Amino acid sequence: MSESADGVALATQGLAKRYGPRVALDGLDLRVPTGVVYGFLGPNGAGKTTTMRILTGLIRPDAGRVEVLGRPFGRGDRRRLFEVGALIESPSFYPFLSGRENLRALAATGAPTSRSRVDELLSLVNLQDRAGDKVSGYSLGMKQRLGIAGALLSDPRLLLLDEPANGLDPAGIAGMRDTLRALAAAGKTVFVSSHILWEVQQLADVVGIVAQGRLVREGPIEDLLRAEGTVRVRVAPDQVPTAGPALEAVAGAGAVTVEHGPEAGWLDVRIDPERAAELNRSLAGAGVYASRIEVGTTLEALFLELTGTSPDLGGAAGSAASGGAAPDGPRWQA
């Protein structure tokens, strides 16, 4: 893993971990470039939290190597974690202390930080108005935001966040996205696991998708989405029966999926987006005029294809392919 000197913030090689007979990680290789937001995706039980526990020295792998910020990371290196901020699973705080007091207590156990740093971070996560209240009275999302502030205390170069959107409302998610994007823009590396795919699609530069403890795909999100080409066509709903065969005549049998419900009139075609004009010509030949044509794919469709699992629902395969997923977010990228 000598590439680390030139721009790899975090790398694992052959990472393996079992819990008794259960294999949690089965030779995981990750490569996280410096200065990006990396979305670490996988269905429930894929091994995301296990990976993050290893990366923060909470547990030891059975085999494999980890390299953090250009150097091998082992169990004796926990002191180096001052360079790494982490939020793994639910953050724990003293409920009887305020948010501000909790951050100060946390600051006292880590790398030296200034008093103003605590207030700066409370503002960053939009808790300044509640900073003096006891944490026992915080909502789940407020605790999560306090946890993110805690992870940022030592101004780490690498930030590891396990499902940080847990419990956040849409405004909280948007705020977190802005914060994490700003950190990456400032040259820091943000490694974030999530199930909320449309959120990752907006947030991450690079994604790694894991299934059953192995990496199934990794790369810049735009490249992945382009490679898994789809063209999406909109016609008048009563023209769908004519449009379907006209599109399949170009793309092949079985390549067209008709969307239903509120998306009526949209057809998904699995084809190289470069061939969109051919589809359009075939439609016109059948007397159908598309009102919109979009190219691309969703991360959700890719996730489903690679892991055989629908995100969030854990096994309700098909919702993404039929276009029914993520109703509350932009789920299509042109």
Ligand X SMILES: Nc1ncnc2c1ncn2[C@@H]1O[C@H](COP(=O)(O)OP(=O)(O)OP(=O)(O)O)[C@@H](O)[C@H]1O
Give the residue with the Cβ less far from ligand X, 43 or 244: 43
CB of 301 to ligand X, least distance (A): 19
Give the residue with the Cβ less far from Mg ion, 147 or 273: 147
DSSP state of 276: H
Give the residue with the Cβ less far from ligand X, 210 or 290: 210
CB of 49 to Mg ion, least distance (A): 3
CB of 137 to ligand X, least distance (A): 27
50 binds, among ligand X, Mg ion, none (CB under 5 to 8 A by kind): ligand X
Determine whether 225 is exposed, middle or buried from the number of CB atoms within 10 Å of its CB (0-12, 13-18, 19+): buried
Structure tokens at 161: 């966040």
299 binds, among ligand X, Mg ion, none (CB under 5 to 8 A by kind): none
CB of 89 to ligand X, least distance (A): 8
Give the residue with the Cβ less far from ligand X, 31 or 48: 48
Q: Which residues bind ligand X (CB under 6 A)?
A: 19, 22, 24, 42, 44-50
CB of 19 to ligand X, least distance (A): 3
Query: Shortest CA distance to 152 belongs to which of 202, 77, 70, 82?
Result: 82
How far out from the chain centre does Cα 183 lie? Answer: 16
Site for Mg ion in 42-81 (CB under 5 A): 48-49
19 binds, among Mg ion, ligand X, none (CB under 5 to 8 A by kind): ligand X
Rounded CA separation 156/190 (Å): 10
Contact yes or no for 17/62 (Cβ under 8 A): yes
45 binds, among ligand X, Mg ion, none (CB under 5 to 8 A by kind): ligand X
- Number of C-beta neighbours around residue 115 at 10 A: 10
Q: What are phi and psi of 31, to 5 degrees?
A: -140, 110
123 binds, among ligand X, Mg ion, none (CB under 5 to 8 A by kind): none
Residue nearest to Mg ion (CB): 49
Give the residue with the Cβ less far from ligand X, 28 or 240: 28
Coil, strand or helix: which one is 91?
coil
Rounded CA separation 89/91 (Å): 6
Rounded CA separation 97/333 (Å): 44
Beta strands in the chain (DSSP E): 8-19, 22-33, 37-41, 63-68, 71-72, 84-87, 158-162, 189-194, 206-211, 214-220, 231-234, 256-258, 266-269, 292-295
172 binds, among Mg ion, ligand X, none (CB under 5 to 8 A by kind): none
212 binds, among ligand X, Mg ion, none (CB under 5 to 8 A by kind): none
Give the residue with the Cβ less far from Mg ion, 50 or 154: 50
Length of the chain in terms of residues written: 334
CB of 42 to Mg ion, least distance (A): 9
Structure tokens at 67: 């390299």
Q: Is residue 90 involved in binding Mg ion (CB under 5 A)?
A: no
Residues that bind Mg ion (CB under 5 A): 48-49
